[in-house]
Amino acid sequence: MTKKKLRSQEWYGRTGKDGFIYRSWMKNQGLPHHLFEGEKPVIGICNTWSEFTPCNAHFRELAESIKQGIWEAGGFPLEFPVMSLGECSIKPTAMLFRNLASMDVEESIRANPMDGVVLMCGCDKTTPSLVMGAASVDLPTLVVSGGPMLVGRFKGKKIGTSDVWRFAEEYKLGKLSQEEFIEAEAAMSRSRGHCAPMGTASTMAAMVEALGLAMPDNATIPAADSRRKVLAHMAGMRIVEMVKEDMRMSKILTRKAFENSIMVNAALGGSTNFILHLTAIARRIGVELDLTDFDHFSARIPLIANVQPSGEHWVEDLFYAGGLPAVMREIQSKLHTDCITVNGKTLGENIEKAECYDRELIGTLEKPIKPDSGIAVLKGNLCPHGAVLKPSAASPHLLTHTGKAVVFEDIDDYKARIDDPNLEVDENSVLVMKNVGPKGYPGMPEVGNMGLPAKLLQKGIKDMVRISDGRMSGTGYGTVVLHVSPESAIGGPLALVQNGDLIELDVPNRSLNLLISEEEMENRKAAFKPTELPYDRGYVNLFLHRVNQAHEGVDFDFLQGSSGSEVKRDSH
């Protein structure tokens, strides 16, 4: 059998001037000539390290473990940076820049002489942006996540990011002082890693493991645990073999793999952000996936993992209880266990020996943590293209509810009036926020789980129905309808809601309707005038003109599909 020529030899294997240029400048880093002779696959390490992205601040160290594995397996590692998206730092929202980072990743992989790539992912948007970009190139690819931080401790109790909303409400009511608030900050973020609950970051780490793009246990090993470095080392070894086997992303990311990921997300009570990101990845790799798939495959799976915000515990605890492999083994009768994964084994082979060590953390299909999980996809005259809700984080008594709308035209209107004692609102009202969708904000921020009015918090009200075209943090909770599509900024029905309108939410029947006549709806449509947004240059202008709606994954319309790894022009 003829040995296949490595892609990197299109650069380093050349003779004459071109080969001289490609190799010579690389040698200024102390690299010996034999590395360029074509026997060692060049492995790119795509690193999202940044001190502005604290979830990923340990990635330079983790990258060294990956390199050790690559060297050991006979590869040639070369690390490169891409745009890093720190959820807690970037304004106006990291989601605005997910597509930009994906373009950075795609072009960096295609343009450089690598045969395979390891994606270093951690903070929320770093995972989908890297996977989206890599999927468009379709080289052998393996994901290493950064891992969750250790659980915090405050006043004798375990705490994590999902407690932020509780602390904020207690602070608003004067039950928590400024000094205590600051003390809680340090107590919560006490180690390296991303958020401790099953927020978006851990949901994304679980997503790539369920898809088959990451090694077993990738999702749950804590960032501070030495076994995270071992996993990185083993991933470095495995990516070299993947290049030799030509195991490209398209061989792993099949329709069945996406279905598996949806069911695993339901078992975990994962973030609603999962829908947007998985949809975008599917469209990059050429797999048909729409909102109905999320509802259909989620409906088959109850909540198996007792992890916040849907449950009580933390991702660190889930690891000690058996990790994601143990969760997947509990639902293996529902999964496509024949799907191939990056370690060369099938999903079924990866989970066949997984064990649960704590039934308080991991339930079963017969005795789940909660009967309802996953994603409920709603349709109706208020959301013709769909909206989503997370049943496991909602209040059961509000899943069928009719109430009068209290409307906020945008986030600034909400902030100005939500705590006004004269606001006409009660616990039966439905809070509606407009203009926080992909184009309206722009960037679709995580403001959907609006804080409740202070006067209702003082009465002991813990939850209300809330509706928006925005998103919710994976660490958030409540009876919150999100991703209303089409969004209000482009004249979707949400834009037409007025104060006092009756809105009917019926989650069991998957419907969301504005209870006004069709004639009144048409009259309001005729009177609608879109708001002109003040972005006439640069990336944000591109985003506004080319971004798709929520039900399509909020990707750019021109990034759908794969463009491949071929570079069509030489530079020399």
pLDDT tens, position by position, 435-465? 999 999 999 999 999 999 999 999 999 999 9
Q: What is the pLDDT of residue 571?
A: 66
Under 8 Å between Cβ of 240 and 75:
yes
Under 8 Å between Cβ of 390 and 398:
no
pLDDT band for position 1 (50/70/90)? Answer: very low
Domains and CATH numbers, the chain: 40-150+191-351 (3.40.50.2300), 376-531 (3.50.30.80)
Distance CA 285, CA 378 (A): 26
Q: What is the pLDDT of residue 55?
A: 95
- 127 compared with 169, residue with greater pLDDT: 127
- Tokens standing for 216? 């077993």
Distance CA 286, CA 255 (A): 9
Give Dmax over CA atoms of the chain in angstroms: 80
Mean pLDDT for the stretch of residues 419-436: 97
E strands along 319-469, which residues? 376-380, 383-389, 400-408, 430-433, 465-468
- Tokens standing for 300? 């088959």
Mean pLDDT for the stretch of residues 293-298: 94
pLDDT tens, position by position, 58-77? 999 999 999 999 999 999 99
What are all long-range contacts of 83-86, with beta carbons under 8 Å and residues at least 24 apart? 83/48, 83/129, 84/48, 84/49, 84/50, 84/52, 84/53, 84/56, 84/123, 84/126, 85/48, 85/53, 85/123, 85/124, 85/125, 85/126, 85/129, 86/50, 86/52, 86/53, 86/54, 86/55, 86/56, 86/123
Distance CA 380, CA 467 (A): 13
Provide the whole-model pTM: 0.95
B/e letters for 114-124, b = 16+ CB within 10 Å, e = fewer, are: bbbbbbbbbbb
Q: What is the pLDDT of residue 166?
A: 85
Q: What is the pLDDT of residue 169?
A: 85
Q: What is the pLDDT of residue 433?
A: 98
3 pLDDT higher than 80: no
Low-confidence winner among 110-119, 547-556, 559-568 (lowest mean pLDDT): 559-568
* CA torsion through residues 407, 408, 414, 417, sign: negative
Q: What is the pLDDT of residue 476?
A: 84
Question: Which of 446, 508, 453, 454 shows the shortest CA–CA distance to 477?
Answer: 446
pLDDT tens, position by position, 4-59? 899 999 999 999 999 999 999 999 999 999 999 999 999 999 999 999 999 999 99
Question: Which of 117, 152, 277 shows the shortest CA–CA distance to 222?
Answer: 152
Under 8 Å between Cβ of 290 and 385:
no
pLDDT tens, position by position, 394-409? 999 999 999 999 999 9
Q: What is the pLDDT of residue 572?
A: 61
Mean pLDDT for the stretch of residues 423-432: 97
Amino acid 353 reads K
